[in-house]
Structure 1
């Protein structure tokens, strides 16, 4: 397996991977019925494309496939600044995809309520947004390596804080194994409308959203720079 930084020219191949392995199966997407396996989702693809433009994302490529770029895993990372989440929330009203709005209304409001910027007094964060591995390649440690390399990218670029909204039990375990800590949680059963109906009936074993963080101290950054 080879690991490479994702460049904008890889966007369509990354999207194709996500259409087949992430868009329909991610716990919140599945609960909302956002899209079918293999189909496109313009709103979600725009969200992914924004992260790719930040040039902080990593892909896993099957090295045995010599004649083509076979992407078998991706982690899409972005740069988050104060005010970005509030702006994204305000733009949701203009999005005509009701299922997309359900998902990101939860994510954005939870992040605004549990504000990492205020707690850690930082002016930007490394935001781990999407972690996906091809279903045929799972169980080989690819997701772990993608997270490990994301932490290295964050350190190399001088970030003090990494953040991830982990929606499923498997990604939550992976992030915690790399030193991420839980900052806040939202049980899906308690995310309800005015009539008490659950808005996103996420299937077990996924029972809650976790907002996780990993702080990087100055010594870690200095050590990383010296080794480059």
Structure 2
């Protein structure tokens, strides 16, 4: 099946973002931190994610890659890439969606506070600061459909992303990898850990992570690679 997979740069105009929505929702449902908060991916949370995805596809500054099954003519996986800056996570002038445009009625204040606190914690591992660069190619969201896992697709997406980063003239690639699979793939591609956060010790909603996910993914790792 892997021979039928083609890695492509996705067109980002119009409603192309809709091609990714099922995979993006699956990514967030099974992502370790998000999995503790069902309201992030259902009801209003689902609508929020659709707005976020549309905004990402429209505004990211690096290629979005898709893995396309040529035989079945369907999406097998994707990797959303962006550029992050030393002086701020994103470039000035990007519009959104704005936080006030999203609806968090399905999420408790406690859940939202814990979610924000955790992601702010991970940003203390700053690849630009560690490697003394002004910006980094950032691997933002890596997802492979269940039927296609274990076939090397994620590795192909990561390696192609590194080629795109080099073509853009960037000297550093980085990412925040929240599960053990992605961490192994990044390590095999030459990424080094610059910060680790054990969920049990640092995430207030640790006990709400589904057991199958909690048992398999014990920490978040911020990783980087010189190009």
With the shorter chain as reference, the TM-score category is 0.7 to 0.9
Q: Is the 8 A contact 1:32 1:200 kept in 2?
A: no
2:129 to 118, 132, 135: 118
Over aligned residues, Cα RMSD in angstroms? Answer: 2.7
Q: Is the 8 A contact 2:174 2:225 kept in 1?
A: yes
What is the alpha-carbon distance in structure 2 between the residues aligned to residue 17 and residue 205 of structure 1?
A: 21
Tell me what 1:185 maps to: 196
Cα distance, 1:51–1:186 mapped onto 2, change above 3 Å: same
Tell me what 2:18 maps to: 12
What is the alpha-carbon distance in structure 1 between the residues aligned to residue 159 and residue 224 of structure 2?
A: 14
Cα distance, 1:51–1:211 mapped onto 2, change above 3 Å: same
Tell me what 1:76 maps to: 80
Cα distance, 1:188–1:93 mapped onto 2, change above 3 Å: farther
In structure 1, the gaps of 5 or more residues are: 193-197, 217-228
What is the alpha-carbon distance in structure 2 between the residues aligned to residue 24 and residue 15 of structure 1?
A: 12
Tell me what 1:2 maps to: 6
Cα distance, 1:51–1:163 mapped onto 2, change above 3 Å: farther
What is the alpha-carbon distance in structure 1 between the residues aligned to residue 200 and residue 217 of structure 2?
A: 11
Offset of residue 115 of structure 1? 2.2
Offset of residue 51 of structure 1? 3.7
What is the alpha-carbon distance in structure 2 between the residues aligned to residue 187 and residue 93 of structure 1?
A: 31
Q: Is the 8 A contact 1:92 1:105 kept in 2?
A: no
1:14-39 deviation line (CA, Å, top 9, x unaligned): 113322x3121111111222325x99
Cα distance, 1:134–1:151 mapped onto 2, change above 3 Å: same
2:71 to 56, 64, 70: 64
The secondary structure found in structure 2 opposite 1:41 is helix
Cα distance, 1:80–1:50 mapped onto 2, change above 3 Å: farther
Q: Does 1:175 align with 2:221?
A: no
TM-score (norm 2): 0.78
TM-score (norm 1): 0.78
What is the alpha-carbon distance in structure 1 between the residues aligned to residue 55 and residue 87 of structure 2?
A: 16
What is the alpha-carbon distance in structure 1 between the residues aligned to residue 130 and residue 146 of structure 2?
A: 37
Tell me what 2:120 maps to: 108
What is the alpha-carbon distance in structure 2 between the residues aligned to residue 16 and residue 145 of structure 1?
A: 21
In structure 2, the gaps of 5 or more residues are: none
